Amino acid sequence: MEENKLGSILIVDDNEDLLFAAKMLLKKHAKEVTIEKDPRKIPFLINNYSYDVILLDMNFTEDTTSGKEGFHWLKQIKEIEPKAVVILITAFGDVEMAVQALKEGATDFILKPWQNEKLLATLSAAVKLKESYNEVEKLSKKQKQLQSELKKPFNDIIGNSASMKNVFSIIDKVAKTDANVLILGENGTGKELIARAIHDRSHRNDEIFVTVDMGAITESLFESELFGHKKGSFTDAKEDRAGRFEVADNGTLFLDEIGNLNMPLQSKLLTVLQRREVTRIGTNKSIPVDIRLICATNMPLHEMIMENGFRQDLLYRINTVEIFLPPLRERLDDIPLLANHFLKSYANKYRKNFNGFKSSAMQLLQHYFWPGNIRELQHAIERAIIMSEGDELDSRDFFFLSAKPSHEKIAASHTYNLDEVEKNMVQKAIDKNGGNISKAAKDLGLTRASLYRRLEKYGL
């Protein structure tokens, strides 16, 4: 039999001679063999270690004939680990009890004294069953994630400007590798679309693409969301749950807004990336993961390192290749392409017929500053289509933009310095919404956390 084919095995029996003999036989065929004569240690062992198969005696010293202890510990094992593969060790006269145990969740049973070849064959079949359980669980989680991803609109990237052609060139080069990628750019520039494009062109494109918004995860849920948890490990942990790293195994994990992480969380993330394994909350089991990592942020990570706001070693880990996405105001040639794409999509969605844009409307769109970038353009066109009564969109359909400053007016009346421009836009949004952070953030196409950072940055 192939070495280590049987994986990790736990044997629980109060007969020390039997334990020793079983370990001597199985250590040649299994990755690891753990023996234990005290069944009271079963909960600790299962909660802290992972076993492919558990060999459990039916009777212990307190009750050598009824099999009640075997049933009790089988029930305990199944409550802790519902998919545990348990093989009962029983005497010939206990076969009837063993059959009853199969109905209650045991996988198989072996008679003692056993034949070595029979024991190895039974264990081999049990390990294959465990592997199938693991595969079904993983496929189920991936299926749920894939169904969620398929519902997301506008999965294609649109652009013909020189800056976007450069981005496409980088994607083509990096996608074929497993290099970690960091995507930089303002909110609403399409960083997630770029991440998806890299995944779709990679050798992992048949596997899952998992997105995590780091700005939306609270510190208390960080480890549970990313690394998973064991049932009962905290108040709301009502079932075992795989973290995003496990779900993304063999696929791509996209960590958006990674600049939002505080230093302690950055340290935990770095540890996982270095070890390429995760440990669920409530256990000591290390689970290896194989992922392609893509991160994104709208924050100046290099400057944050100088201010001790971001770990330099983590930045080195995540940015083997950097991709910068230009803001929409620097891609004016792409606005007609994007606008027509959104027009067609939303016209279909709302069952309306449109012939396109009047020149006045397109001129307005190309002269507006777009602080929310592509996301704001998308929302503006959706709103215009809903409210318009004609078959072409004109400037009046975008009346809600006309009162906002264009990039030309901002540049003429203030400065071309992007920090100054951004500061002015943040101040205007705050003033317009009477200090309401949530509304101001929505107008700017930012998260609340991102807006708070800008308020602090500019002393507003």
The number of residues in the chain equals 460
What distance in Å separates the CA atoms of residue 186 and residue 297, rounded to the nearest whole number? 8
Residue 279 token pair: 């440990």
Residue 247: what pLDDT?
Answer: 93
- In the chain, what are the domains? 8-132 (3.40.50.2300), 152-324 (3.40.50.300), 330-458 (1.10.8.60)
Q: Which of 129, 44, 43 is nearest to 83 (CA)?
A: 129
Q: What is the pTM of this model?
A: 0.61
Residue 159: what pLDDT?
Answer: 87
- Looking at the DSSP bridge assignments, the partners of residue 278 are 287
What distance in Å separates the CA atoms of residue 255 and residue 252, rounded to the nearest whole number? 10
Residue 64 token pair: 């050598």
Residue 153: what pLDDT?
Answer: 40
Residue 144: what pLDDT?
Answer: 61
Residue 146: what pLDDT?
Answer: 59
Residue 119: what pLDDT?
Answer: 86
Helix/strand/coil (H/E/C) assignment for every residue in the chain: CCCCCCCEEEEECCCHHHHHHHHHHHCCCCCEEEEECCHHHHHHHHHHCCCCEEEEECCECCECCCCHHHHHHHHHHHHHCCCCCEEEEECHHHHHHHHHHHHCCCCEEEECCCCHHHHHHHHHHHHHHHHHHHHHHHHHHHHHHHHHHHCCCCCCCCCCCHHHHHHHHHHHHHHCCCCCEEEECCCCCCHHHHHHHHHHCCCCCCCCEEEEEHHHCCHHHHHHHHHEECCCCCCCCCCCEECHHHHCCCCEEEEECHHHCCHHHHHHHHHHHHHCEEECECCCCEEECCCEEEEEECCCHHHHHHCCCCCHHHHHHHCCEEEECCCHHHCHHHHHHHHHHHHHHHHHHCCCCCCEECHHHHHHHHHECCCCHHHHHHHHHHHHHHHCCCCEECHHHHHHHHCCCEHHHHHHHCCCCHHHHHHHHHHHHHHHCCCCHHHHHHHHCCCHHHHHHHHHHHCC
Residue 375 token pair: 């996301």
Residue 199: what pLDDT?
Answer: 94
Burial call 128-138: b when 16+ CB within 10 Å, e when fewer: ebbeeeeeeeb
Residue 237: what pLDDT?
Answer: 78
Degrees to nearest 5, angle at CA 352 with 347 and 358: 70
What backbone phi and psi angles, to 5 degrees, belong to 385? -65, -40
Q: Which of 127, 57, 42 is nearest to 97 (CA)?
A: 57
What distance in Å separates the CA atoms of residue 244 and residue 145, rounded to the nearest whole number? 10
What distance in Å separates the CA atoms of residue 430 and residue 203, rounded to the nearest whole number? 46
Tens-binned pLDDT, residue by residue, of the chain (460 aa): 445 578 888 999 888 888 888 898 888 888 889 999 888 999 999 888 888 899 888 877 655 556 678 888 888 888 888 888 888 887 765 667 767 777 777 888 888 788 888 888 888 888 888 877 777 776 766 666 655 554 444 346 888 888 999 999 999 999 999 999 999 999 999 999 999 999 999 999 989 999 999 988 888 889 999 999 888 888 777 888 889 999 999 999 999 999 999 999 999 999 999 999 999 998 888 999 999 999 999 998 988 998 889 999 999 999 999 999 999 999 999 999 999 999 999 999 999 999 899 999 999 999 898 989 999 999 999 999 999 988 899 999 998 885 555 544 444 444 557 777 788 888 888 777 766 777 788 888 887 777 777 877 776 6
Q: What is the sign of the dihedral through the CA atoms of 296, 299, 300 and 302?
A: negative
What backbone phi and psi angles, to 5 degrees, belong to 213? -90, 100
What contacts 442, CB < 8 A, 6 or more positions away?
none
Residue 233 token pair: 């490990």
Q: Which pLDDT tens digit goes with each residue over 4-46?
A: 578 888 999 888 888 888 898 888 888 889 999 888 999 999 8
Residue 241: what pLDDT?
Answer: 85
**Residue 362 carries which side chain, given as an amino acid letter?**
M
284: number of Cβ within 10 Å = 10
